[in-house]
């Protein structure tokens, strides 16, 4: 009889984890900028984090879905985002 899974050493394929770590790092950059600069547009966050505009938008969408970020208004025809309280 084989050992239960909980007692076996599990091997994790680090290559599969890389996108998760990268996503978390990028979201961390965005959250840090919102903490530091306050409410910001996608363009401002893109410039501050040096992430592509599309990538920042994807993260903002996810962060809104998780309740971490909210839309606070508009500036220069762009939505302004801030950390949720």
Please give the pLDDT value at position 11: 79
| Residues present in the chain in total | 85
Query: Residue 29: inside a domain, yes or no?
Result: no
Q: Structural domain tally of the chain?
A: 1
Phi and psi (nearest 5°) for 83? -70, 140
pLDDT in tens, the chain (85 residues): 566 665 566 777 888 889 999 999 999 999 999 999 999 999 999 999 999 999 999 999 999 999 999 999 999 999 999 999 8
Pairing of strands 69-75, 78-83: antiparallel
CATH number at residue 47: 1.10.10.10
Query: Residue 33: inside a domain, yes or no?
Result: no
Please give the pLDDT value at position 3: 61
Range of the domain at 58: 39-85
Cβ neighbour number for residue 32 with a 10 Å cutoff: 12
Query: Residue 9: inside a domain, yes or no?
Result: no
Model pTM above 0.85? no
């Amino acid at each position: 009889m084989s050992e239960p899974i909980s007692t076996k050493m599990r091997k994790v394929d680090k290559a599969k984890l890389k996108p998760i770590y990268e996503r978390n790092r990028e979201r961390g950059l965005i959250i840090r900028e919102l903490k530091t600069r306050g409410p910001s547009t996608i363009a401002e966050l893109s410039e501050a984090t040096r992430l592509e505009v599309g990538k920042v938008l994807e993260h903002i969408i996810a962060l809104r879905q998780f309740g971490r970020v909210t839309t606070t208004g508009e500036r220069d025809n762009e939505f302004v985002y801030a950390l949720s309280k």
